Structure 1
Amino acid sequence: MATDSEEQDAALLPGTRRALDHRLAVAQAEGRVPSAVAAVVRDGRTVWTGVRGGAVAEAGGGPAPGTQYRIGSITKTLVAVLVMRLRDEGLLDLSDPLGRHLEVPGGPGVSGASGEEVASATVAQLLSHSGGLAAEPRGPWWERTPGDLRPGTADLFGERPVRHPAGRLHHYSNLGYALLGSLVERVRGAPWDEVLREEVLRPLGMERTTPLPEEPYARGWAVHPWADAVLPEPLADTGRMAPAGQLWSTAGDLCRFAVFLSAGDDRVLGAGSLAEMRTPAVAPEASDGDRTYGLGVQLVRSGGRLLAGHTGSMPGFLAAVWTAPDERLASVALLNATAGTAVGGLAADLLTTVAEREPSFPAPWRPRSAADPELLALTGPWYWGPSGVALRLREGRALELVPLGGAGRASRFRPEEDGTWTGLDGYYAGETLRVVRGADGAVSHLDLGTFVFTRHPYDPQAPVPGGVDPRGWRAG
């Protein structure tokens, strides 16, 4: 009888599975990683899992898809989901300064001015690492030391908790996510990890994602840089810093999380809010190349596609989860070594292998069951001056503006209750699209953030700014 794993793998061609197995084997061997577990998700289903290594004795047997590994900063994405839930419930706004919801006392040697700067960073800036906060809390090395060294929020701050003007650049901050975890606790009135379990992990079926390891779990190792020897890494409960990288999880649970990150789940967070998280919030630093950051989500271009997810590292562990929502693909990689392998590159390669060898089929086209005649009447060509665009009707009264001839500004629009539409992307993101009617009730033109779109180029019957020459179009 076929095992569950064999039934899952059957969805991929044998050549694709072998290519995935080979890529994982090379990463484990050349990276000198004690063990590695990886998986690929397609169309919401795990279609491949791979396990390599296990030569180092582990309690509970060798590594398996159900073995826990520490996931490091993937924890941040889960915390960001909690913050976005608060926003969607109206309990905070992303533009709110941190100090509106959380008291930010000065730490040892911290001036009042520095404390005020921390408090003035907005929730969105903390989510996108653009609040200007220091990368790390005050010493010692928080990832390898007990969290009871920093029992309170004030104990996180060194002498200079703010290193850059807020909103000016992307500066990765573990300290910022520790504060976001405290924000969740303050608003919800419960520890952040308990809130996470009730609001995210249980609804998504992530029963093996926990703050502290539960057997079977992989032990963390450092591999000697010049010898084939290993050294055990300490397992620290990082306390107040836990929202920055504390969690443990399995390949199976991270596959469930990847499905959620791709499509949303109304029990946790809708697709619209997740799309917002995947939107670049800050410009990349020059050294980052094709990498940037959304709201709790890393964005990286690999193989010509934009991947969204997060990598993670803690002493003894490396982890990554990437999603390509448009292709309905995701990948996961978990390693128990402090360094040696680019885990984000490994996970990206696994996803790319499936995308290139077995590209996803598009969803079958189906006609609409019904369409509003008034909306249908709006579709087709419109003109901003002489520049043509096409307006298309999408599912749920959504609209899409596409330039004719390939050059111009495209955008998608969501419908609002007041009969307008709001731009979702491109130049018109956040702008309002209105249908303007004349005294007789007939559509006169479209107003898009003051841009006037008419049915004919420079229509003399429409209120084109500056007017239209009464002599009309002419030669010469």
Structure 2
Amino acid sequence: MKTPNADQAPSGTEQLLPATRRALLHRLAVGQKEGRAPSVAAAVVREGETVWHGARTCVPGHGPNEQVQYRIGSITKTFTAVLVMRLRDEGLLELGDPLEKHLPGTGVGEVTIAELLSHTGGLAAETPGSWWERTPGSLRPTLGDVLGETPFRHPTGRLHHYSNPGYTLLGALVEKLRGACWEDVLRREVLDPLGLDRTSGRPQPPNAGGWAVHPWADVMMPEPAEDLGLMAPAGQLWSTTGDLARFAVFLMDGDDRVLSAQTLREMRTPAAPAETADVSAGYTYGLGMQIQDQEGRVLVGHSGSLPGFLATVTISVEERLGAVVLTNCTSGLAVGAVAADLVRIVAEAEPPIPEPWTPLKDVDPAVLELAGPWYWGTQASALRLTGDGTLELSPLAGRGRSARFRSRADGTWIGLNGYYAGEILRAVRRADGSVSHLDLGSFVFTREPYDREAPVPGGVDPKGWGPLPA
């Protein structure tokens, strides 16, 4: 076992620079000391590989490494969301389906599956009765016990309101459609294919014990570790930095044995409005994934907490970086901030060397003809044909609507992001085959500002351009 207070580079990976490794370990050590955490373990992934493990501990005989389990709390929700999206991709449900269609009799059947995934169903944040995280799941043997007599706190679909009972319903949905218990389905469909053999519903040695650290004194005591019963799909799992590093790579790249890259992009896309209190923090929620803007860096993943444990998985898809931080204290260590800093340290210290620019191998002359400047009214934009075969539309100066477009079989292009996501771009041609204008969701783009040769809605003043009338 690696010494308790050190860092480690997995064998067979591209090494980080010594200065970067020291900066990562320093950040972890500062976090452990200032957060007064009994132990903390972390990992960093880059370009699809784990490139660093680090750990700090003050617990005798406890040397955390990439194989030591910690409880990961609500990171479990992302695993549950993956199972639901598999059902969708197989055609067994639609995200817009009401829950009642597949899981009747819950009393909240009007909530859609997408609303449950994005915490916009209006359901209560917690269960009624005893504090569910510190009491046995046997106290809540039915979904009625989980939901209570008044399950709603807000109108459905109107507000992002985090709901643990909502993910219990999604777990029950998985069990109903698969005909097996949630954990068995998870093992068969996600954990085994991804090689996450140190992720489980119950702790498997070596595992960390959970601790409560006194807020006003440097003393601590053990926390209970309850089996959550029906609430398991919301927070039951135990895992390691090694397994969660592999899971982070999956969340970036996908794996066709589990979910495609396209479906993972959908999960990482905001699906819920930000809560009023979180607007300034740039926080929103996708389909089972948290999304936050950290000083211009978009970080996606999920955090988790249960008595005695804090955890987070954070990825920067654009930079191909991710971090995992696990600790065994109820509060104190800001695992999200530490993980964000681990990503930032690597991104700033070792920015990736870009691949060489290469030209397109084949290009359709009819598509090449579209490249260049276009005008939406008086706003100048440029349409560029990129090396991956997509079109990029962006303003030539100042701020404006930008988007990428992918070709379709009928010769049109569909927007992939921004204001024009899902909108259709079409080149309108004259009888002689020359391009008259571009039609983008009914907006007309012309080669000259308000080109007289193009059918601009509303027409063009016949007097044309000139000075301000006297």
Common fold: TM-score over 0.5: yes
**1:455-474 → structure 2 map (5 Å cutoff):** 455-474=447-466
Q: Of residues 135, 142, 147 in structure 2, which corresponds to 1:157?
A: 147
Instruction: Give the Å deviation of 1:47.
Output: 1.6
- 1:43 partnered with 2:35: no
Could you tell me which residue of structure 2 aligns to residue 186 of structure 1? 176
Could you tell me which residue of structure 1 aligns to residue 270 of structure 2? 280
Deviations 1:138-178 (A, max 9, x none): 22222222222222322211221000011222111111111
Instruction: Give the Å deviation of 1:254.
Output: 0.8
- 1:23 partnered with 2:27: yes
Could you tell me which residue of structure 1 aligns to residue 358 of structure 2? 366
Deviations 1:81-101 (A, max 9, x none): 222222233322222222222
- Cα 1:422–1:86 shift into 2, 3 Å: farther
- Cα 1:417–1:469 shift into 2, 3 Å: same
Instruction: Give the Å deviation of 1:275.
Output: 2.1
**Letter in structure 1 aligned against 2:338:** L
**Letter in structure 2 aligned against 1:91:** L
- 1:32 partnered with 2:53: no
Q: Of residues 304, 315, 321 in structure 2, which corresponds to 1:323?
A: 315
Q: Of residues 367, 382, 400 in structure 2, which corresponds to 1:375?
A: 367
TM-score computed with the length of structure 2 as normaliser: 0.92
**Letter in structure 2 aligned against 1:393:** L
Could you tell me which residue of structure 2 aligns to residue 64 of structure 1? 65
Moved more, 419-428 or 17-26: 419-428
TM-score computed with the length of structure 1 as normaliser: 0.91
Deviations 1:48-86 (A, max 9, x none): 11011152455xxx2111111111111111212222222
Q: Is the 8 A contact 2:284 2:292 kept in 1?
A: yes
Counterparts of 1:308 and 1:453, CA distance in 2 = 35
Moved more, 86-95 or 76-85: 86-95
- Cα 1:270–1:406 shift into 2, 3 Å: farther
Could you tell me which residue of structure 1 aligns to residue 100 of structure 2? 99
Q: Of residues 237, 259, 269 in structure 1, which corresponds to 2:227?
A: 237
**Letter in structure 2 aligned against 1:430:** G
- 1:251 partnered with 2:252: no
Deviations 1:175-202 (A, max 9, x none): 1111111122222332222222222222
Counterparts of 1:194 and 1:396, CA distance in 2 = 40
Q: Which runs of 5+ in 2 are unaligned?
A: none
Q: Which runs of 5+ in 1 are unaligned?
A: 106-114
Deviations 1:430-470 (A, max 9, x none): 22222333344443322211111122222222221112233
- 1:447 partnered with 2:451: no
**Letter in structure 1 aligned against 2:174:** V
Instruction: Give the Å deviation of 1:355.
Output: 1.5
- 1:387 partnered with 2:379: yes
Instruction: Give the Å deviation of 1:7.
Output: 4.3
**Number of residue pairs matched by the alignment:** 461
Q: Of residues 198, 208, 212 in structure 2, which corresponds to 1:218?
A: 208
Could you tell me which residue of structure 1 aligns to residue 80 of structure 2? 79
Counterparts of 1:446 and 1:12, CA distance in 2 = 48
Instruction: Give the Å deviation of 1:36.
Output: 0.9
Could you tell me which residue of structure 2 aligns to residue 204 of structure 1? 194
Counterparts of 1:336 and 1:201, CA distance in 2 = 23
**Equivalent residue of 1:460, what SS?**
coil
